Amino acid sequence: MPVRAITDTYVFPSSSRQELYGDDQLVHVLWRGNMTLCAAACFRAPKAMTWSAFLTEMVEPWAGSDPDYVPGSARDWVLDGRPFTPEPDRTLAELGVGHKSLIEFWV
């Protein structure tokens, strides 16, 4: 929710803006319908990381903290509110995953 300052001279740059992360970016991941992992997780990931590496090195260890998760069972991917079909050998940048993007999935 935006906050309205009481003065016009109040300038506050975001502490999570893209320029502070260099070749990395923040990527939010949400497992829809999960009662244990009910909030999105945020990962710092290189833009040049392949989808396959992102999935196996970041998403699956996080999702695996729920004993019901079976690697490879994620389906119905959504990127920033739109249906998304990840391609294993393409980079996050090539797939359109940007800084602070939200990736959702169901199992």
Residue type, 5: A
Average pLDDT over every residue of 21-25: 96
Model confidence at 6: pLDDT above 90: no
Model confidence at 8: pLDDT above 80: no
Rounded-to-integer distance, Cα 94 and Cα 78, Å? 16
Degrees (nearest 5) of the Cα angle 34, 28, 63? 40
pLDDT digits (tens, 9 = 90+) for 30-86: 999 999 999 999 999 999 999 999 999 999 999 999 999 999 899 999 999 999 999
Model confidence at 1: pLDDT above 80: no
Residue 54 CB neighbour total at 10 angstroms: 23
Burial 79-90 (b: 16+ CB within 10 A, else e): beeeebebeeee
Q: Coil, helix or strand for 58? A: helix
Length of the chain (residues)? 107
Q: How many angstroms separate the Cα of 67 from the Cα of each of 27, 30, 36, 58, 64?
A: 23, 16, 10, 16, 6
Categorize the per-residue pLDDT at 87 as very low, low, confident or very high, splitting at 50, 70 and 90: very high
Domains of the chain by residue range: 18-106
Give the CATH number of domain 18-106; options: 2.70.98.10, 3.10.20.560, 3.40.50.170, 3.80.10.10.
3.10.20.560
